[in-house]
Amino acid sequence: MRKFKRRQFLQATLAATATIGASNLRGFASPSEEHIEAVVIGSGFGGSVASLRLAQAGIETVVLERGRRWEITDAGDTFSTYEKPDGRSTWLSPTTIIFGETPIDVYTGVLDIKVGDGVNVLRGAGVGGSSLVYNGVTYQPTKELFYRVFPRSINYEELDRVYYPRVRSILKPSPIPDDILQSPFYLTSRIVLEQAAKANLKARKLDMNIDWDIVRQEIAGTKVASAIDGQVYYGINSGAKQSLDRNYLSMAEATGFVEIRPLHVVIDIEEANRGRFRVSCNQIDEQGIVVDKKTIVCKYLFLAAGSIGTTELLLRAKNNGKLRRLNNQVGQLWGTNGDTIGTVLTSMQTNPTKGGPAATVIEDFDNPIGPLVVEQLPLPILPEGVYTSLGMAITKPEGSLTYNASTKTADLVWPRNSANNEKIRAAYLDFYSRLNEANGTSLAEELNDNTTAHPLGGATIGAVCNPYGRVRGYRNLFVVDGAFIPGSTACTNPSFTIAALAERNMDRFLNRYRKHKY
């Protein structure tokens, strides 16, 4: 970090000196502009991978993240809980956005919602991005299903051989150990495995980005009960969730080449002179009040604000004429990953609010209507006797985001009742009818596909970006997050594939960088 600060000082001095002699030149930096070699916007999966790899290559990098840091402490009270939510639960909102609308203080909390037409999107905010609020499922798609979504310009064998293992080597995900699975907290996970077997469905444990030793300590009472209590979406207070701030990002910071700036909301990106980019952001306080405005000029810009955030920044830049060479595909090819919640009514005890995060999956790849998977999840609003699962399928990327000049945000439209989405609903109903028939259970309510936690697309491979995430028309502008992926990660939760593709695309960037081709 010392090296970083010293170089920054030298750069600032040089920029200021140069400005004195050249202040009349069009596009020249104003004294208040900071110059950094690389900027990463957002610190979720794409941003974390990009930051670490830039740092290891010795490239000075600033990460601009709208949310705050969330450090786990021995007090076990970093995050708010479902039972007593406060401002920490939700991004700048007077009420909670899940499990009811409880009034809370307006604060830069961890979970945000994008309300769309046809679907609402949940997403994280904070250093670590959506890994702060996620379930930790680390799930690799099969080759066959992968190519139902992705073009052949992405080599699955290479991902399988090099990039998924590279991500795995840092996150170190593992399945739930049997002693924990056998505890009363994980009763639902066991029921799901048993019911799947009765219905002749393939079920197994998922690889989870969870420290199971900490879960054991929760069970032993030496750590605050959090994962076992089903707390997931506002963060896990025991530290069982291995969010990105505790691996990729801390490794990046340790190099001294990366500075993460929390509570910096990027407002605009634009092309500056000599192929550089100007990034404008608001520094906010924890109540969301703007306390400063800053501008950074960088040579390399990596967009990692998530599917919605990245797409919105690109759409705004296009609308305002700040990135004129963006094509009309920006905002297109967006999808929900087929996220669908189903609730099964049983005649037995299920402990449905306990034992998180999701630990098991049923893989119904041979579903006669279309492949899908279903993962059981604890939710605090469930009554005894039921359990809830989140399903994922292969959606067509029929959604879109368009710029709304009056609100200065992107409007999201998802055709929930399109023929493709009706087909996916039919596939889920087929799955649940087989599961229920074999077990004497039933669906407790209609399937719910009006919310997704897996937004994907908007600046996709082939359409907006080349196969390695470089934005067409711009040599040094890259998309490294979920915006790159057209609507689905092929019957899996997306984070593993987002991170593996980011690793792959950063490798490509750094190879070129080292050969001075950039």
Tell me which residues touch ligand FAD (CB under 6 A): 41-47, 64-67, 122-126, 129-131, 133-137, 233, 265-266, 304-307, 309, 453-454, 481-482, 493-496, 498
Structure tokens at 476: 């040094």
Can 454 be counted among the known catalytic residues? yes
Distance in angstroms (rounded) separating the CA atoms of residues 401 and 406 = 15
CB of 46 to ligand FAD, least distance (A): 4
CB of 386 to ligand FAD, least distance (A): 20
Compare residues 399 and 494 and give the one whose CB is closer to ligand FAD.
494
Task: Name the phi and psi angles at 390, rounded to 5.
Answer: -105, 125
Task: Please answer whether residues 329 and 400 qualify as being in contact, where contact means their C-beta atoms are separated by less than 8 angstroms.
Answer: no
CB of 337 to ligand FAD, least distance (A): 8
Structure tokens at 466: 């080349």
Compare residues 122 and 236 and give the one whose CB is closer to ligand FAD.
122
Neighbours of 345 (CB within 10 A): 15
CB of 240 to ligand FAD, least distance (A): 13
Closest Cα partner for 133 from 168, 88, 101?
Answer: 88
Angle at 352 between CA 349 and CA 354, to 5 degrees: 115
Can 375 be counted among the known catalytic residues? yes
DSSP codes of every residue in 175-188: PPPHHHHTSGGGHH
Compare residues 245 and 441 and give the one whose CB is closer to ligand FAD.
245
Compare residues 124 and 352 and give the one whose CB is closer to ligand FAD.
124
Q: Of 375, 384, 398, 446, which residue is the catalytic one?
A: 375
CB of 91 to ligand FAD, least distance (A): 8
Judge if the upstream peptide bond of residue 357 is cis by omega within 30 degrees of 0. Answer: yes
Contacts of 250 (CB under 8 A, 6+ apart): none
How buried is residue 417: exposed, middle or buried, by Cβ count under 10 Å (0-12/13-18/19+)? exposed
Neighbours of 10 (CB within 10 A): 10
CB of 10 to ligand FAD, least distance (A): 27
Handedness of CA 321, 322, 328, 332 (dihedral sign): negative
Residue nearest to ligand FAD (CB): 44
Compare residues 375 and 441 and give the one whose CB is closer to ligand FAD.
375
Q: Of 253, 398, 454, 503, which residue is the catalytic one?
A: 454
Angle at 292 between CA 249 and CA 262, to 5 degrees: 15
Compare residues 67 and 370 and give the one whose CB is closer to ligand FAD.
67
Q: 210: helix, coil or strand?
A: strand
Compare residues 133 and 225 and give the one whose CB is closer to ligand FAD.
133
CB of 377 to ligand FAD, least distance (A): 9
Neighbours of 123 (CB within 10 A): 23
Residue whose entry in the numeric block shows the structure tokens 């000029």: 297
List the catalytic residues: 375, 454
